[in-house]
Amino acid sequence: MSDPVKNQYEMRDPREQYPKPPFPEQPQSAPGLAQEMTPKPDHGENSYQGFGRLKGRKALITGGDSGIGRAVAIAYAREGADVAINYLPSEEADAQEVIEFIRAAGQKAVAIPGDLKDESFCQELVERTVQELGGLDILVSNAGRQTFQTSIADITTAQFDETFKANVYALFWITKAAVPHMKPGATIITTSSINARQPSETLLDYATTKAAIAAYTQALSGQLAEKGIRANTVAPGPFWTALQPSGGQSQEKVKEFGSDVPLGRPGQPAEIAPIYVLLASQESSFMTGGLFPVTGGELM
Ligand code: NAD
Ligand code: MG
């Protein structure tokens, strides 16, 4: 990296803005910690500047401890939203940093650890968010798991099941619990992937869930229009997050991560948070049912 990004509005060469491969090997066990990554991901901690675009809103972000969800949590708080984050109990260290950033922005922060593979926990997560924040205006269903396997022979039924539970069922359970609390103007944002349209051969189960998330969100948007609730999905390309070195890719691929997109490097979480801000804010009032690629130039 040339020098730390202190101002997201400074004009720069996007190819040079952040670290490029090769990266060091850095195995972690899933779900991994952002704290343990080299180089450290940029979640906008030192650069994201808010303008009150989400003033008074109440947001729930799953996977808000690290990666994309963490960058979104920091951005939402600096835009004036109160934020609840969900994550797995083993991610408490990352999560506590995010809680501090939300509070430092002068907003209410609520930490709700728990496993989204459990339907009753998904319901409890929504109820606690509504209770502690006093409502729910923005739902960011972003948590996800990814385990690479080179052969279908090595994908166990347990892995297939867990990937679908965490990535797809949880979305359904959380949305079902959340919609009755949402008023016209509320928004739902999900995280799909470039894998929805360019499925990687080593991510058979994961890629299938990401295509499902895109279809789910687009179908949902049609249903929720009559309630004045919008739903959109973001499709990231390669992003430098704990998901990848913790079993999401082989270490060989981690070393070259992002090298095959036109900009020649992985995105940093700070570079995708702005679309989540746009899709949550009233600025995007006519955007619903959309799929928004953020891929460093890889075409979907
Ligand atoms: P990340 O590991 O930082 O975040 C994913 C989060 O999901 C974890 O922090 C964890 O809290 C949560 N999670 C996983 N399983 C869970 C469970 N059972 N219960 C509760 N929480 C659980 O990685 P990220 O890359 O920021 O991932 C965010 C989203 O972006 C995911 O949906 C991922 O599929 C998607 N995505 C990432 C990339 C990429 O290259 N990093 C590309 C496309 C899509
Ligand atoms: Mg995490």
* Distances from the Cα of 138 to the Cα of 190, 280, 288, angstroms: 11, 6, 14
Atom of ligand 1 nearest to the CA of 246: 2
Conformational region of residue 199, where left means phi above 0, alpha means psi within -120 to 50, and beta covers everything else: beta
The finding on whether 236 has its CB within 6 A of some atom of ligand 1 is yes
Mutate to test the pocket of ligand 1, among 35, 68, 140 (most ligand atoms within 8 A of CB): 68
Q: Among this protein's residues, is 206 annotated catalytic?
A: yes
Which ligand minimizes its atom distance to the CA of 142? 1
Q: Which two tokens stand for residue 77?
A: 């708080």
Supply the residue whose CA is at minimum distance from atom 6 of ligand 1: 63
- Are 44 and 269 in contact by the 8 Å Cβ rule? The answer is yes
Q: What angle do CA 155, 257, 141 make, to 5 degrees?
A: 65
User: From first to last of its 300 residues, what are the pLDDT tens digits of the chain?
Assistant: 446 788 889 999 999 999 999 999 999 999 999 999 999 999 999 999 999 999 999 999 999 999 999 999 999 999 999 999 999 999 999 999 999 999 999 999 999 999 999 999 999 999 999 999 999 999 999 999 999 999 999 999 999 999 999 999 999 999 999 999 999 999 999 999 999 999 999 999 999 999 999 999 999 999 999 999 999 999 999 999 999 999 999 999 999 999 999 999 999 999 999 999 999 999 999 999 999 999 999 999
The ligand 1 atom at the shortest distance from the C-alpha of residue 267 is 40
Buried b (16+ CB within 10 A) or exposed e, 273-295: bbbbbebbbeebeeebbbbbbbb
Atom of ligand 1 nearest to the CA of 269: 26
Identified catalytic residue from 87, 206, 216, 276 = 206
Q: Does domain 44-294 have CATH number 3.40.50.720?
A: yes
pTM: 0.98
